[in-house]
Amino acid sequence: MKTRITEMLGIQHPIIQGGMHYVGFAELAAAVSNAGGLGIITGLTQRSPELLANEIRRCREMTDKPFGVNISFLPSVNPPDYAGYIKSIIDGGVKVVETAGNNPQKWLPMLKEAGVKVIHKCTSIRHSLKAQAIGCDAISVDGFECGGHPGEDDVPNFILLPRAADELEIPFVASGGMADGRSLVAALALGADGMNMGTRFMVTKEAPIHENVKQAVIAATELDTRLVMRPLRNTERVLKNDAVERLLEKERSLGANIKFEDIIEEVAGVYPRVMQHGDMDSGAWSCGMVAGLIHDIPTVKELIDRIMLEAETIISKRLTGMLG
């Protein structure tokens, strides 16, 4: 399948694995790239630029296909060494970067000079247009269904994607609610050039996370996510658990007076405990509503092959048959 995104990134299938904290290690990124998609290493999961450089080397040993690195630019009292991380990306020969969070404009000249394609994650049309204006190469349009940070506008992909198609000139992929061939065909029909999957790739054989996490997603339905940190305007979609219920109770009781310090126990340092040790109730962790569509743990190749076969069947048989 050829789209603007497969042509731009030099990949076989229009499927990108999103950056995920303590999930996007070299093993998963390489598996996705080897299966014809674009694998993504999560940059800030590596605690230093040197560790990221090592992770890029590990990925390079596992695949000769294109892969990318995710860098999230977040407000912080002690910001990461972003210049160091970007140097590691460039020195490692990585040609695709997925950026998220704050405006990446400061870092675009360095990346562009090195021939790196930049895909910026946006939850609104206004942010997508800004990313296009500053020179990003593509957009990952993130609908309200997504796991992680859906923004504050609450616009689902059935509206957001066609709006993006109307407004954007650069390629974009659909992110949030993507799980199978139906998702891909729907995204393409709504104007996208491919899809970005996060939660679905967590539940694969190669995802280097605890089995408890995979089983929790399989057991969940589309009704089992919650929105937390909304009063702080840092909304995150997470899978419900005991810690999330405690957090929501604090939000209800403290109301407008809530501060980040009030919920630090439920949100700080959670990901290693969940993803690596399987402590499912230790805090709030990102998960999309798409959990309701996830029922098995295939290999990455089995998943991508299945998605592409299903998509091709829908397009060539079901939809074409309706034109009779």
Taking each helix axis as running N to C, give the angle between helix 300-313 and helix 26-34, from 0 to 180 degrees, rounded to the nearest 10: 40
Q: Report in angstroms the alpha-carbon separations of 64 from 18, 119, 319.
A: 19, 21, 36
**pLDDT for residue 84:** 98
**pLDDT for residue 77:** 77
Model pTM above 0.95: yes
Tokens read off for 323 = 């034109």
One-letter amino acid identity for 187? A
On whether the CB atoms of residues 4 and 171 are closer than 8 A, the answer is: yes
Q: CATH no. for residue 201?
A: 3.20.20.70
Do 152 and 12 fall within a single domain?
A: yes
Note the pLDDT tens digit of each residue in 136-157: 999 999 999 999 999 999 999 9
What domain range includes position 253?
A: 221-286
Cα–Cα distance measured from residue 299 to residue 181, given in angstroms and rounded to the nearest whole number? 16
Percent of the chain with pLDDT over 90: 98
**pLDDT for residue 324:** 79
Do 32 and 74 fall within a single domain?
A: yes
Do 253 and 172 fall within a single domain?
A: no
Do 57 and 187 fall within a single domain?
A: yes
**If you average pLDDT over every residue of the chain, what do you get?**
97
Do 148 and 66 fall within a single domain?
A: yes
In a domain, 199, yes or no: yes
Indicate whether 5 pLDDT > 90.
yes
Do 270 and 189 fall within a single domain?
A: no
Do 112 and 30 fall within a single domain?
A: yes
Q: How many domains does the chain have?
A: 2
Note the pLDDT tens digit of each residue in 59-86: 999 999 999 999 999 877 789 999 999 9
